[in-house]
């Protein structure tokens, strides 16, 4: 009888102090360190992702997005003393829209962040690298002008209110630039002159340049 009463007092004392976690929200995979109520001498944790632990202060890595009501008991099979709710979001997948994606230098390109985020994740900062030696920080939709010819990979780094949700993505060969066409033609006769009309002139296009060209 005394042992039962002692155990009851112990469980009552433990339930008066909350079990805690060093982080309750993040993006998968997220490592969480749990702490038992003050004075606990034994613990049994059920993480609700298939894992358990008898350590007083265990760490668990949650790899699948979801909400986990982690259970704390003093011993396996004992009464539930409390829970800690862990919310795990999918990591953001940065995406961008660029207009245009190719053209002749100087090429002005409008960038727009179109990243989808889950839950209460907030984007605190944007860091763009344009691939031509230029970068910009702090704007979601920058405007950038490419002055050199080439193919440029663009990267976007997102800083969020949860460190585990910070992410960077590189968009390979996203922007392509070329030289403007060198417009020229020759006439026959050359010079195209006559003393009296009519003067019939043949025009031969000698323009050079890459890409699809139209003529007027």
DSSP codes, 119-175: TT--EEEEEEE-SSS-EEES-SS-EEEE-S-EEEEEEEEEEESSGGG-EEEEEEEEE
Using the predicted structure, report yes or no on whether residue 212 has a pLDDT greater than 80.
Answer: no
Between 171 and 9, where is the model more confident?
A: 171
The mean pLDDT value of the chain amounts to 92
Distance between CA atoms of 192 and 202, rounded to whole angstroms? 9
Mean pLDDT for the stretch of residues 80-90: 97
pTM: 0.79
Task: Give all domains of the chain, ordered by start, each with its CATH number.
Answer: 2-89 (2.60.40.10), 96-178 (2.60.40.10)
Task: Give tens-digit pLDDT for 33-58.
Answer: 999 999 999 999 999 999 999 999 99
**pLDDT value at position 209?**
77
Mean pLDDT for the stretch of residues 107-126: 97
Q: Provide the pLDDT confidence category of residue 216 given band limits of 50, 70 and 90.
A: confident
């Amino acid at each position: 009888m005394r042992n039962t009463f002692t155990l009851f007092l112990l469980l009552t004392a433990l339930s008066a102090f909350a079990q805690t976690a060093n982080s309750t929200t993040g993006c998968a995979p997220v490592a969480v360190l749990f702490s038992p109520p003050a004075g606990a001498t034994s613990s049994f944790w059920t993480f609700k992702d298939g894992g358990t632990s008898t350590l007083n202060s265990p760490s668990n890595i949650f790899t699948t997005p979801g909400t986990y009501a982690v259970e704390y008991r003093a011993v396996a099979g004992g009464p539930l003393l409390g829970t800690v709710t862990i919310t795990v979001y999918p990591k953001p997948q940065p995406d961008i829209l660029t207009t245009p994606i190719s053209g002749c230098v100087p090429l002005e390109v409008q960038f727009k962040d179109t990243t989808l985020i889950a839950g209460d994740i907030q984007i605190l900062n944007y860091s763009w690298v344009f691939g031509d030696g230029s970068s910009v920080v702090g704007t979601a939709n920058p405007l950038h002008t490419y002055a050199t010819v080439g193919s440029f990979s663009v990267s976007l780094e997102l800083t969020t209110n949860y460190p585990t949700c910070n992410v960077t993505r590189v968009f390979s060969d996203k922007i392509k630039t070329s030289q403007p066409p060198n417009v020229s033609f020759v006439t026959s006769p050359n010079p195209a002159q006559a003393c009296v009309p009519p003067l019939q002139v043949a025009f031969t296009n000698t323009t050079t340049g890459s890409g699809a060209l139209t003529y007027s």
